[in-house]
Amino acid sequence: MDSPIKTRVWRLDADAPDPDIIAQAADIIRDGRLVAFPTETVYGLGANALSAPAIERIYAAKQRPAHDPIIAHIAAIDDLPRLAVDIPDIAFDLARALWPGALTMILKRGADVPDNIAAGLDTVAVRMPSGKIAAALIASAGVPIAAPSANTFTRPSATTAAHVLHDLGGRIDAVLDGGATHIGIESTVLDLTGETPTILRPGGVLLDDIQRIAPTTITRSRWQTDDTPSPSPGQMLKHYAPNARMMVYRGEVAAVLDAMRRTAEELSAEGLRVGLLVAAEDRPHIDGAGVVHVLGRRDDLAGISRNLFAALRQLDAQNVDVILTRDFGAEGLGVALWDRLVRAAEGRVVTV
């Protein structure tokens, strides 16, 4: 690793960010260096999206493999043609309906966009995030900002500035601390380069929302377990993973909780420290079986999503050896939650 640099931390009001600080951060971006900033989904690790050396710094800081492409963030729909060519009408329809928001669109890459943001693909991922800090930073920089989630590769995404500093402190120039992010899981990635709009990663914008504008949209669920480049790179199974070994249970809720409790007791008897990641209503069934962490009420999938990555990091900090968690259904955000849970568990799903 390079010798550490001093990471500046600027605390900002998420609703009214100080323009002087934004201007200083924008200078750092224009200078080809790295600034982490909050979006409505998770914190991003930003660099000038039109500069190959700046993007190279992102890969180095994150220890991210070069075959995993990065999203470019813009502050206005009018900036889309700076990044993409042959943009289909449906992209503009979707942008008008769902931007700023948690939707990333894969489009044909424009000539001025460096190869390395796209890991060599002829496409580019573009998103217009909501949130005043992100919008102000991008607008002030005057260039699109490339930003993957601001975590070390394969670690849970960062939803607070403290998470960013934990993973990337000393490796990046600055962090804009705007408090905890609102959605807590990443954007939905939608590929618009083929015949049929295809969701490559479920996220903060739901399939229903997209289908209202693009009715033929489908979801392609595919997990890759090795380093082979593919048309949807970055879909490796190991992702968002805590240090602890995680298992995700699915099935009828009462049976799932029984099985989790039994397993927790068995593992504890073997001397392992067990973390349990559950809904508020699960608590009575599971109390005493391990370190219990409540994500939120069962019917509040937004709250559960918002808390997920912080919970994984907190259980790691509590030095648990194993994390047992469960499925939260396939309604709404449940789809994206399931995706993140299975990845965090590196595919260890127990069907009860």
DSSP track, 201-232? E--SS-HHHHHHHSTT-EE----B-S----SS
Least distance from C-beta 247 to Mg ion, angstroms? Answer: 22
The pair phi, psi for residue 241, each rounded to 5°, is -85, 135
Residues engaged in binding ligand TXA (CB under 6 A): 39, 41-42, 44, 68-71, 102, 104, 106, 118, 121, 123-125, 127, 129, 147-149, 186-187, 189, 200-201, 232-234
Q: Where are the alpha helices (DSSP H) in 273-300?
A: 283-286
Look at residue 42 and give the partner it binds from ligand TXA, Mg ion, none, a contact being a CB closer than 5 to 8 Å depending on partner kind.
Answer: ligand TXA
Q: With respect to ligand TXA, which residue has the nearer C-beta, 236 or 279? A: 236
Contact by Cβ (8 Å): 82, 74: yes
CA 329 to mean position of chain CA atoms: 20
- By beta carbon distance, the residue nearest Mg ion is 149
Minimum gap (Å) between residue 313 Cβ and ligand TXA: 16
Residue nearest to ligand TXA (CB): 234
Shortest spacing between CB 351 and Mg ion, in angstroms: 27
Residue 8 or 67: which CB sits closer to ligand TXA? 67
20, 68, 77, 242, 313 from 318: Cα distances, Å: 39, 31, 43, 12, 9
Residue 121, contacted partner among ligand TXA, Mg ion, none, CB below 5-8 A by kind: ligand TXA
Q: Which does 156 bind (CB under 5 to 8 A by kind): Mg ion, ligand TXA, none?
A: none
Considering the complex, state which of residue 17 and residue 44 has its C-beta at the smaller distance from Mg ion: 44
Residue 115 or residue 287: which is nearer to ligand TXA going by CB?
Answer: 115
Q: Which of 234, 227, 226 is nearest to 200 (CA)?
A: 234
Q: How far is the CB of 251 from ligand TXA (least distance, A)?
A: 28
Token pair listed for 290: 């391990």
Residues whose CB falls within 8 Å of the CB of residue 72, separated by 6 or more in sequence, listed in order:
49, 83, 113, 117, 124, 125, 126, 127, 144, 145, 146
Q: How far apart are CA 102 and CA 93, in angstroms?
A: 15
CB of 121 to ligand TXA, least distance (A): 5
The edge-to-edge listing of strands for the beta sheet with 349-351 is 291-296, 274-279, 322-326, 245-250, 349-351
Which residues sit at the interface with Mg ion, rule CB under 5 A?
A: 149
| Residue 28 binds which of Mg ion, ligand TXA, none (CB < 5-8 A, kind-dependent) | none
Q: To the nearest whole angstrom, how small is the minimum distance from the Cβ of residue 62 to ligand TXA? A: 9
Question: Of 38, 205, 62, which is closest to residue 134 (Cα–Cα)?
Answer: 38
Say how far apart CA 90 and CA 124 lie, in whole Å.
16
CB of 168 to Mg ion, least distance (A): 13
Query: From the list Mg ion, ligand TXA, none, which binds 124 (C-beta under 5 to 8 Å, kind-based)?
Result: ligand TXA
Residue 39 binding partner per list Mg ion, ligand TXA, none, with a CB distance cut-off of 5 to 8 Å that depends on partner kind:
ligand TXA
How far is 164 from 175, CA to CA, in rounded Å?
8
Contacted entry of ligand TXA, Mg ion, none for residue 125, CB cut-off 5 to 8 Å set by kind: ligand TXA
